[in-house]
Amino acid sequence: MNNNNQMDLEKPVLIIDDEADIRDLMELTLIKMGLSVKTAAGVAEAKKALRTHAFSLVLTDMRMPDGSGLEIVDYITAHNLDIPIAVITAYGNAAQAVQALKNGAFDYLQKPITLAQLRTLVKSVITINNTAETEIDNKMVTAFKQSENKQKNEDTSAMVNEQQVRERLLGNSPLITEVRQLISKLAKSNVPVYIAGESGSGKEQAARSIHEQSERRDKAFVAVNCGAIPEALMESEFFGYKKGSFTGAESDRAGFFQHADGGTLFLDEVADLPLSMQVKLLRAIQERAVRRIGEMEEKQVDVRIICATHKDLNALVESGQFRQDLFYRLNVVSITMPPLRELRDDLPQLIRVLLQRILNDETMTLTPEAKKALLQYSYPGNFRELENILERAIALSKNHIIDIDDLQIHSYQLDNPRTESAENAGSNLSADSNEEIKDYQFGKTQIQDYLDEIERKILEQALAQTRYNRTQAAKLLGISFRSMRYRMERLGIV
- pLDDT of 416 strictly over 70: no
- pLDDT of 222 strictly over 80: yes
Q: Which helix (H) or strand (E) holds 195?
A: strand 193-196
pLDDT in tens, 283-301: 999 888 999 999 888 999 9
Most confident of the following: 136-140, 418-422, 488-492? 488-492
pLDDT in tens, 225-234: 998 888 888 9
pLDDT at 272: 93
- pLDDT of 218 strictly over 50: yes
- pLDDT of 39 strictly over 50: yes
Helices (H), 302-381: 313-318, 324-330, 347-359, 368-376
Helix, strand or coil, per DSSP, at residue 378:
coil
Q: How confident is the model at residue 92 (pLDDT cuts 50, 70, 90)?
A: low
Q: Mean pLDDT, to the nearest integer, of 141-163?
A: 46
- pLDDT of 142 strictly over 60: no
Packing angle, helices 69-78 and 43-52, rounded to 10: 20
d(CA 54, CA 8): 11
pLDDT in tens, 301-316: 999 999 999 998 888 9
d(CA 246, CA 56): 45
Query: Minimal CA–CA distance to 263: which of 225, 332, 212?
Result: 212
Q: Mean pLDDT, to the nearest integer, of 101-129?
A: 76
Interior/surface letters 162-188, b for 16+ CB within 10 angstroms, e for the rest? eeebeebbbbebbbbebbbebbbebbe
Q: Do the strands 57-61 and 13-16 form a parallel or antiparallel pair, or are they unpaired?
A: parallel
Mean pLDDT of the chain: 80
Length reported for the chain:
494
Q: How confident is the model at residue 131 (pLDDT cuts 50, 70, 90)?
A: very low
Which position has the higher pLDDT, 453 or 429? 453
Amino acid at position 229, single letter? I
pLDDT at 5: 41
pLDDT at 110: 77
Q: Mean pLDDT, to the nearest integer, of 315-321?
A: 90
Which position has the higher pLDDT, 9 or 75? 75
Packing angle, helices 470-477 and 447-465, rounded to 10: 120
- pLDDT of 147 strictly over 70: no
pLDDT in tens, 5-20: 444 556 899 999 988 8
- pLDDT of 413 strictly over 50: no
Query: Minimal CA–CA distance to 90: which of 76, 66, 109, 105?
Result: 109
Range of weakest confidence among 255-264, 389-398, 484-493: 484-493
Q: How confident is the model at residue 440 (pLDDT cuts 50, 70, 90)?
A: low
Q: What percent of the chain has pLDDT over 90?
A: 31
List the strands of the sheet with 304-309, edge to edge. Answer: 221-225, 264-268, 304-309, 193-196, 333-336
pLDDT at 469: 78
φ, ψ for residue 386 (rounded to 5)? -60, -45
Q: What is the DSSP letter of 402?
A: E
Q: Is the peptide bond before 112 cis (omega within 30 degrees of 0)?
A: yes
- Counting other chains too, the contacts that 173-177 makes at CB distance below 8 Å and 24 or more residues apart are 173/342, 173/343, 173/345, 173/346, 173/486, 174/482, 174/485, 174/486, 175/338, 175/342, 175/343, 175/482, 175/483, 175/486, 176/338, 176/343, 176/346
pLDDT at 94: 66
Given a contact cutoff of 8 angstroms between Cβ atoms, the answer to whether 55 and 77 are in contact is no
pLDDT in tens, 342-370: 998 899 999 988 888 888 777 888 999 99
Which position has the higher pLDDT, 93 or 271? 271
Range of weakest confidence among 140-144, 165-169, 183-187: 140-144
pLDDT at 314: 87
